Each structure stands twice: as C-alpha cells, then as structure tokens.
Amino acid sequence: MIKRNIYGIPSMIYIFIDYKLEKFKNEINYTFGFIFQTLGYSFNFVSDTGQLKEDDILFIYGYTDPTVEELVAIAQHFITIFIPCEPDLFDPKSLTRDKLKHNLKMVKLLSKTPVISSRSFSYPAENYSESKIQAGKINFDLIGNIFFHLAQLESQVDLTRDSDSYYPEEASIFHPYRDTPYVDNMLWLVDSMIKEHTRSKGIPLVQKQYWPQGQEGAALLTHSVDNLQKWNYTDLFLSLGTDVAMFFTLNWKQLFHTISSKFKYLFTNVELYWNFEEYRELEEASGFRSTFYIAADKNEYINYSLDDPDLQEEIRQLIRSGNEIGLLLTPDKTNPDDHITRKQVMLHQLHQETIGIRQLHYRINEKLRELHSKLNPAYSQSTALRDIPGYINGVTVPYQPWIGGLSVPWFELPTIYCDTHLRVGRFKTLQLEPAKKLLKKYFQSTIRTRGIFGLDLNLASYYDIPYVKKLYTYALALIKSGGIWVPTANELSLWWNKRNRVTINETEYEISIFFPDNLENFTLQIINSKKIKEILGVPAKVEGNMVSFSNVNADSIAVIRLNQES
C-alpha cells in the first residue's frame, strides 16, 4: 500500500522501510522528510512495492543488506537505491564517545566528509548500471548520520560539560571538521545518485530550487543587541586594573582605543555602543535589510530596558526601513512562563502575532532547547559555533529541530560567522585581512552547497573592533556580487515553509503544480525532459530547463505541458 506524503500527492520517489525498524519509525520518517523536502523532490512512503511504475525511484532503508543479485533483481522494474541502517545512531543510550570515535570514518563526497559507521567499505556509494537496470547502494547509514546531527545526539552521548553545564563545542569529535557542511554533503550524495540514474534511464525529473528566483544561495544579516552601554562611572573606575593589564601586553592600539572611548564618554556622554544607524546606513546603501535581536527585559546579561524611549524610537525606525526585530533570549530565568511573558511583551511592543528568537551567545543545552519548543517561535537562529566560524551540526539549510522525541513546527536557521570569531584573546582581535579571508572562505563554501550564509555582528562590536565597518562593507559587497537572496530571517522561514507546501504531480507529458500560498517568485528545474510546449494558469518564464513563476496567488494551479515528439 502507498502512504501519501504529508502534502497528499502522488510522487515518483518512494521510500520502503524495513519492518524491523518500526521502533525508530518517527525518527526515520522525519529524516527522509528533511532530505527530500530540502532537495525539492516529492516523495511517498510505501509498504508494498507492487504498485510502483517503471519510471519510479525506490529507496529501500533496511536492516539487512541485499546481495548485488537481489538489488539488481528489484532494479529491473524501477530505479532502486539501498541504504543500510545502524539503529544505534537513533539511540544515544547505545553509544559512547569511544564508540563514536572508533566508528568515525572520512569519505569523499562533495568534499571530505566525516561519517559514523561500524561497517567497512572502500567507497561511500556504488552504482550498478546496465541497459535496463539502474541500482545504487550507499555503504553507510546516511539516514542515521543525518538524524544524529539534526537531533544533536552527540551532547546526549558525551556527558562532558563546562562549568555552566553546557556541552563544550571543542569536545565534539566533529569539531576538527567544522569547516565541512557534512549534512549538506550527504544531501548532495542523495541528489547526485537520483540525477545519475534518472539521466541514464532518460526519466524526467522535477525539482524545486532552494530559493525564490533560483539564486545560488541565501544570506541572513543579523545583529545581536545585548549591550548598549559601554561605560558608566562605576565601570570607568573598575576598568583601571584592566587598562594596567593591557599596558603590560604591549597592545598599544587597543589601549589607546579604550582610553579614548573613556574620554569621549566623559566629555560628550555619547553612547558608543548605540550603533543602530551605522549598520542601517551600510545596509541601505547595498539595498539590504537585516534582523536585530533585542531582549525584552533588563537583567544581569542585558544593560538596557525595552521601555527606553530612545530604544523604542530606534525599533520604529528599523521597522519603517523594512528591517525585522527578533527576541533575544537570556539564561537568567529558565521557567517557561517567564520566557512566554517576555515573548508577549515584545509582541505587544511590535504589534505582531509571532516572533523569531535567538539564544544569547548561542549557548544551548537540552533544557533551553525544550524551553524554545514551548515558546513555539516563528523560527530560531540560536545555533552557531561560539569561538570560531564554521558549520555547527554540519548544516547550512533550514531544518525543524528534533526536541523531546518530536519534530517541532518551526525552523532553525544556522549562523556561520559572528563577531566573537574575530577575538583571539582578551585584548586581541584578528587583523582585518585575515578576517576578510575567513569570511570569504565560509561564504564561498556555504554557497557551494546552496545554503544560508548567516552573519551576526552585534552592536557593540561596531565600536569595540575598529575595523568592523570595513569588514561589514566588504561582506555586503561580496554578497551583492554573488547574486544571493538576502531576506530577513522571518521572510526566509516563511519562504521555506511555503516552498515545502508547493505540490507537484507528474504524468508523461504534463506537470501540474499546486500553490497553496501567495508567492512572489518560485523556480523549478525540469531535468531530462522534452521541451516545454506551454505553461498555463500562472505567469511563468522559461530559461533553459528552469521555469520561474511570478506573482502567484494562493490556491493557483500551473500546468506545464511538454512536447510529445520523440
């Protein structure tokens, strides 16, 4: 029997799961959903392969490997790809840190990629191709590996904690591979195998593009607002000891910068961290907008109040300019009711019904993850490496976190590069040129996988790190030159949800697309296809094998008719 996918349409990709894996059915379904929704393919789960057609693609996820002969026998009827399961990857109680280290292997995908596997193999995947046979086999548990990272199971396996009860990122066995978006690389493997086999068999394939106009990637410009007051008279006095310590480090430039800021405060009363306008002007000059994360309460982590009339005026100005306000969460309170109250205070301030969140300094543990789940935000942007740039959990695309044994309904949006990565000591920062080089490296690596380049420069860093204006100007120019989509965080989250809701139905010479939501732009790629004869129902433009829709109304249906000539 064919089970309809969560969007209720037939599709040409089917997934068969071994009945022996029933215990982990929810985890497996969640992971397959992430894979195919991200890649932009329609899919169904199937318990009986008898109803599949010749042009269908079957993924088998099994406990026991088929022989080559068995796999080829199935592939005589339709493209078949087998993925072996290692159930331990779904159960942190079955794993230890030593077992993870022992089973860690490097494989060559889009780039060198770490995977967990107890199996021995020479190649990450194998393809079998003959005149009427198209079969493939992935030699490690790709599904289990992806789930392991999305569910952040390593922190449940390894109980190492710092003094504040957080899992230290440097303790991760994947920390040496932080330069690699390894989850994205595994998505690339699945995508490559699908395209290779459909090309060999001449089967048309329809794929949603990641971004509205088929852009190469996306960028999120964000600013954490945790500190708006550099000095008060008490801090001026208490900082004298720090100045003396800085003197003995011979860091004259930083010492002069600090002392000059004190005189500027004493004689002008100018608040040096109040840099909303500075960031806004740079972004407006590039035609971009950003997301500012602001806290709702003054507390030990936050030195400003939302009631401040000047701050309220800044918020109004940001919104008038098309920017977005998110809620900055602090760990001073862990009672869900307190955080729900803070959320309601900010929503009242903004006259909104929903809001996205960011956890201060990206310090997350299981308790805070559960708290986020209870807040039910519009989205979260709370994951990033704290001390150095890179890909936390190896992912650059939106995903729905797995918390408390369930998938939550909102998306986590990763952050790749932060101002904290520019600090290399208490009194030292990275020089401008190395900082630009790092930024460009991670930008290019992220775009290579069509992911999100998340950038966070907080308001205080604009003054504290003297070259941040130059660095941000460089980043904006780099993004602008790359043909990258630059929405606010909420716009990106809404887009990803609407993209997932678009449904596609294919017949031999016709493709119908149902749009349940209004969409300004939407792009499809039609692979291995005959030429398009006409498109009905929705305004569209064809360039090569790309079809771009514009100004789509909710509940519209587009029909793409293909030429029937051979």
Q: What is the mean pLDDT of each run of 10 residues along the chain (566 residues)?
A: 40 89 97 98 91 90 89 87 98 97 97 97 92 90 99 96 93 97 98 94 92 98 88 42 44 45 46 88 97 96 93 96 98 93 97 97 94 97 95 98 97 96 80 97 97 96 92 98 95 98 87 96 90 91 94 96 73
**Residue 76: what pLDDT?**
86
Element (H, E) at 543: strand 540-543
Contact present, 119 and 176 (Cβ < 8 Å) = no
**Residue 107: what pLDDT?**
98
How far is Cα 293 from Cα 119, in angstroms, rounded to an integer?
A: 45
How far is Cα 460 from Cα 559, in angstroms, rounded to an integer?
A: 52
Q: Enter the tokens of residue 526.
A: 């039609």
Sign of CA dihedral 264, 269, 274, 280: negative
Q: Is 250 exposed, middle or buried (0-12, 13-18, 19+ CB in 10 A)?
A: exposed
How far is Cα 49 from Cα 47, in angstroms, rounded to an integer?
A: 7
Contact present, 192 and 132 (Cβ < 8 Å) = no
**Residue 565: what pLDDT?**
61
Contact present, 135 and 74 (Cβ < 8 Å) = yes
Name the pairing type of β-strands 556-562 and 532-536: antiparallel
**Residue 333: other Cβ atoms inside 10 A:** 15
**Residue 226: other Cβ atoms inside 10 A:** 20
Of 180, 150, 177, residue with least CA distance to 442: 180
**Residue 271: what pLDDT?**
60
Task: Name the residue with tokens 């004869």.
Answer: 533
3-state secondary structure 201-246: HCCCEEEECCCCCCCCCEEEEEEEECCCCCCCHHHHHHCHHHHHHH
DSSP designation for 427? S
How far is Cα 566 from Cα 564, in angstroms, rounded to an integer?
A: 6
Q: Strand, helix or coil at 30?
A: helix
**Residue 10: what pLDDT?**
38
**Residue 4: what pLDDT?**
42
pTM of the model: 0.91
Quick one: the chain helix, strand, coil %, rounded to 5?
Answer: 40, 25, 35
Any bridge partners for residue 46, and if so which?
2
